[in-house]
């Protein structure tokens, strides 16, 4: 099995991607500062930048992340940013997980719904319900309802901390509301109640003992068990956490045990108007892939990997995938990652770029559209160019963000007291510095990027032999316009900055990005085109530049990054920067357990070491060499009553870390596991809980250095620079072929029609949008794709049947929605 592929177990993996566009007509009806968050149930996993002084803020932010846990609701909250008080939630868009498929890949406007505590719920409760038959002293028979509330799982955080939950258990009918209450459990999102409550079920006076003890219909139809979860507020009001309702009639004489998903109160939000809060424009794409063991994908994987050898390339499986997908990006993401993982990307990009160039009539429009070739190169640069961007741009981006100078040169946007000449000097200083860092960075450019640029350069020169500049514009259109310039304007997206820059800094970065795009394109021009600027102020700014000097610098840089000559080894000759961010770590045994034990620190992971610092860019105060890490595993919440914790096991005591949310925790664990996978002394067993008060909480062993009681999780892909799961990407491609099965059949019919009728096409037909250069070769590949997809369909159906039979309705894996009818 190749590194980066999955193991022998079936894995269900979820991811979410999309874009938050803009909001309009928000309340209060005055200019405010707004931002938007993405929440899985009540857990925030993504936040946009703050848009200042707007009624209709444009966010324009893309998101992409793996979802590491089950959830009920995906929500988007609009906040009114406050400096002195708590940020105010204006409204939300909440979509049930089951309904996400209705919006996948579509741009939609959603009306904002009001936010109130009665509608903000998450988690599930484990109940056992039973009807007992009792005979009283006088010989009459009555029914007793037994409610055993066992536990809850996944309750929300309250003000960033685990809640203090308790439950009320009620038997409710037209003329009764008997309520009982559990004990309060302190600081936990997964409380273990294990309390039993008894209720007498009311009988009519005419009831007599019968051969079968059945509850009379007029009684049973009107009774229901209601369980409400609350957070104990102590000195403030208790907070509603969710409820479930179960009609007593479903019990009859049976004992019924099940997990139930908590639900909002039925009257939540009903009194509020939803048409005056505003609306939010979103594009959402949620996928859930069932990844089978690696051997199931052999045929499809081989079919895709030989795509670059197929003549013509339009008859290949990879190209056909892009043809049948409504949005090419759906195909490009898994395709590029799969080809990259198996070292087949460069020849495929060269083949589709050559096809792209056939349709390009003018040299100055080369690689300008969103074709398969350009999208593949864009995605490749994002994946393999992360470290390159950091070593090239991060220092200067940090300087711009941390010590900002005024750079506004648009007369319309100048503030009172601003000096345009001084601002222009500041902007020139930043542009010169960014430009210098870029053109001197060729030695750090990843070899794979250089190989792709080399192919593009020579294909362009071959297509336009009489244009000496086209070989440079073919490369600059990617490396300057679609790589460096984009990273400058959105440094947080490329992990160059941990947070969004403020509005003034964002504007400065936008002006620098425009300048870099222009300077980069000058390497391919015979003369400057100042007249092409839409903004007069940018035209004036560029009059200060010496064109020849910059053109020569760009030309030399493009020569270097599109050369196949060996430069610095592309391996791990210098540390590869993998991940960084702010988390909380527990003091390693120096003080007693308590809130003060956890301190906020800046963590940094490279291919050589894992460090934490008091602040970003400060010297590390603790360092673990990668070779010393023995295991990285999740830590049970019960250890410290905190969510999203994991542990790094090394030579000394375990390092306990709390991430800010489940997505972040999963990403850190995965990154650390990848970089340490080949360590020779990795552990086979570990302790899932902490060693506290003289024993391990998990197994009660009293020796601190005793062998772990749980087996370490399965190995994960080892590639530290390019984190790719080959089986996951192949499964995604299979899903895309399955979704677009009707288009595959149309394309197959089109190939048959072309093969039979070779005359001119008189009018557009169903396949006029498909690229069919060789109908026989395309038909042959289509036949292979359909056969492979059908075999995989059979394997998935077998798994789903097995899963359905093993995951009982009402089990923890398949809980019941909170109201049973």
The answer to whether residues 195 and 183 touch, using CB atoms and an 8 Å cutoff, is yes
**Domains of the chain as residue ranges with CATH:** 17-111+280-286 (2.60.40.150), 124-204+219-261 (2.60.40.150), 292-343+723-820 (no CATH), 349-441+451-461+470-520+529-551 (1.10.506.10), 577-587+596-711 (2.30.29.30)
Strand 43-47, strand 58-67: pairing: unpaired
Please give the structure tokens belonging to residue 317.
């499986």
Please give the structure tokens belonging to residue 424.
């222009």
Tokens 């105060």 identify what position? Answer: 621
Closest C-alpha to 665, from 777, 584, 574: 584
Closest C-alpha to 242, from 267, 263, 266: 263
Burial class (CB in 10 A: 0-12, 13-18, 19+), 26: buried
pLDDT tens for residues 308-337?
Answer: 999 999 999 999 999 999 888 889 999 999
Q: What is each CA distance from 733 to 35, 296, 345, 548, 781, in whole angstroms? A: 34, 13, 16, 48, 15
What pLDDT was estimated at residue 8?
63
Q: Which strand (E) or helix (H) includes residue 560?
A: helix 547-561
Phi and psi at 236, nearest 5°, equal -115, 175
**CA–CA distance, 331 with 349 (Å, rounded to integer):** 14
The answer to whether residues 36 and 78 touch, using CB atoms and an 8 Å cutoff, is yes
Strand 695-696, strand 691-692: pairing: antiparallel
Q: Which strand (E) or helix (H) includes residue 255?
A: strand 255-261
Low-confidence ranges of the chain (pLDDT < 50): 1-4, 204-218, 270-272, 523-527, 566-572, 591-596, 715-721, 761-765, 821
Report residue 576 CA to chain centroid gap: 23
Please give the structure tokens belonging to residue 208.
């007599």
Please give the structure tokens belonging to residue 639.
């250890």
Task: List, in order, residues 6 or more apart from 628 with CB less than 8 Å away.
Answer: 650, 651
Coil, helix or strand for 465? Answer: coil
Question: Residue 63 region, left (φ>0) first, then alpha (ψ -120 to 50), else beta?
Answer: beta
**CA–CA distance, 130 with 418 (Å, rounded to integer):** 76
**CA–CA distance, 148 with 195 (Å, rounded to integer):** 6
Partners of 197 in beta bridges: 147
> How many CA atoms within 13 Å lie on the side-chain side of 669?
25
What pTM was computed for the model?
0.79
What pLDDT was estimated at residue 1?
41
Task: List, in order, residues 6 or more apart from 592 with CB less than 8 Å away.
Answer: none
């Amino acid at each position: 099995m190749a590194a980066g592929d999955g193991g022998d177990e079936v894995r269900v993996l979820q991811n979410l991607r999309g874009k938050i566009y803009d909001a309009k007509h928000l309340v209060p009806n005055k200019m405010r500062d707004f931002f938007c968050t993405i929440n899985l149930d009540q857990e925030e996993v993504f936040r946009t930048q703050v848009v200042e002084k707007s009624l209709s803020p444009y966010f324009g932010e893309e998101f992409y992340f793996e979802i590491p846990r089950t959830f009920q609701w995906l929500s988007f909250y609009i906040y009114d940013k406050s400096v002195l008080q708590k940020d105010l939630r204006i409204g939300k868009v909440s979509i049930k997980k089951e309904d996400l498929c209705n919006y996948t890949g579509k741009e939609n406007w959603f009306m904002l719904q009001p936010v109130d505590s009665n509608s903000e719920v998450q988690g599930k409760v484990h109940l056992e319900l039973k009807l007992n038959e009792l005979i009283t002293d006088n010989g009459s028979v009555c029914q007793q309802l037994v409610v055993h509330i066992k536990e809850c799982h996944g309750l929300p955080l309250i003000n960033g901390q685990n809640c203090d939950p308790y439950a009320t258990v009620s038997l409710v009918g037209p003329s009764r509301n008997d309520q009982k209450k559990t004990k309060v459990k302190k600081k936990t999102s997964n409380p273990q109640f294990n309390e039993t409550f008894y209720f007498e079920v009311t009988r009519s006076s005419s009831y007599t003992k019968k051969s079968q003890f059945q509850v009379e219909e007029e009684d049973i139809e009107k009774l229901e068990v209601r369980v409400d979860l609350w957070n104990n507020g102590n000195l403030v009001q208790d907070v509603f956490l969710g409820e479930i309702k179960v009609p007593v009639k479903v019990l009859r004489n049976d004992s019924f045990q099940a997990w139930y998903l908590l639900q909002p109160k039925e009257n939540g939000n009903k009194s509020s108007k939803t048409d005056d809060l505003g609306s939010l424009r979103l594009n959402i794409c949620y996928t859930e892939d069932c990844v089978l063991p690696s051997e199931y994908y052999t045929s499809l994987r081989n079919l895709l990997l030989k795509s670059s050898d197929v003549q013509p390339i339009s008859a290949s499986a990879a190209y056909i995938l892009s043809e049948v997908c409504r949005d090419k990006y759906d195909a490009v993401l898994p395709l590029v990652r799969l080809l990259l993982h198996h070292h087949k990307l460069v020849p495929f990009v060269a083949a589709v770029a050559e096809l792209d160039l056939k349709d390009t009539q003018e040299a100055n429009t080369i690689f300008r559209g969103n074709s398969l070739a350009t999208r593949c190169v864009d995605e490749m640069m994002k994946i393999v160019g992360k470290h390159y961007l950091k070593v090239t741009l991060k220092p200067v981006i940090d300087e711009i963000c941390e010590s900002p100078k005024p750079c506004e040169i648009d007369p319309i946007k100048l503030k009172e007291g601003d000096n345009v000449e001084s601002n222009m000097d500041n902007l020139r200083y930043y542009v010169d510095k960014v430009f210098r860092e870029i053109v001197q960075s060729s030695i750090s450019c990843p070899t794979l990027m250089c190989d792709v640029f080399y192919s593009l350069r020579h294909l362009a020169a071959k297509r336009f032999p009489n244009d000496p500049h086209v070989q440079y514009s073919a490369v600059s259109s990617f490396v300057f316009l679609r790589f460096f310039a984009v990273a400058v304007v959105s440094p947080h997206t490329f992990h160059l900055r941990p947070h969004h820059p403020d509005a003034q800094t964002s504007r400065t970065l936008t002006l620098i990005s425009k300048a870099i795009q222009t300077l980069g394109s000058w390497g391919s021009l015979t003369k400057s085109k100042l007249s092409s600027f839409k903004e007069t102020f940018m035209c004036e700014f560029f009059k200060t530049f010496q064109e020849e000097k910059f053109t020569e610098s760009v030309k030399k840089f493009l020569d270097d990054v599109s050369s196949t000559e060996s430069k610095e080894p592309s391996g791990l000759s210098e540390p590869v920067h993998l991940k960084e961010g702010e988390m909380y770590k527990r003091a390693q045994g120096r003080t007693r357990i308590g809130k003060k034990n956890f301190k906020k620190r800046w963590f940094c992971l490279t291919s050589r070491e894992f460090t934490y610092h008091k602040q970003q860019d400060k010297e590390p105060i603790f360092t673990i060499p990668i070779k010393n890490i023995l295991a990285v595993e999740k830590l049970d919440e019960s250890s410290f009553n905190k969510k999203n914790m994991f542990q790094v096991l090394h030579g000394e005591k375990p390092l306990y870390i709390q991430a800010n949310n489940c997505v972040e925790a999963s990403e850190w664990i995965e990154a650390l596991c990848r970089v340490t996978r080949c360590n020779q002394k990795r552990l086979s067993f570990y302790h899932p809980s902490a060693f506290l008060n003289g024993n391990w909480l998990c197994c009660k062993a009293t020796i601190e250095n005793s062998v772990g009681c749980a087996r370490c999780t399965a190995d994960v892909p080892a590639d530290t620079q390019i984190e790719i799961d080959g089986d996951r990407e192949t499964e995604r491609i299979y899903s895309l072929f399955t979704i677009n099965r009707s288009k595959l059949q149309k394309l197959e019919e089109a190939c048959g029609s072309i093969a039979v009728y070779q005359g001119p096409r008189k009018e557009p037909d169903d396949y006029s949008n498909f690229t069919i250069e060789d109908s026989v070769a395309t038909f042959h590949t289509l036949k292979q794709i359909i056969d492979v997809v059908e075999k995989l369909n059979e394997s998935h159906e077998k798994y789903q049947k097995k899963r359905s039979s093993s995951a009982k309705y009402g089990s923890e894996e398949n809980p019941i929605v909170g109201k049973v009818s």
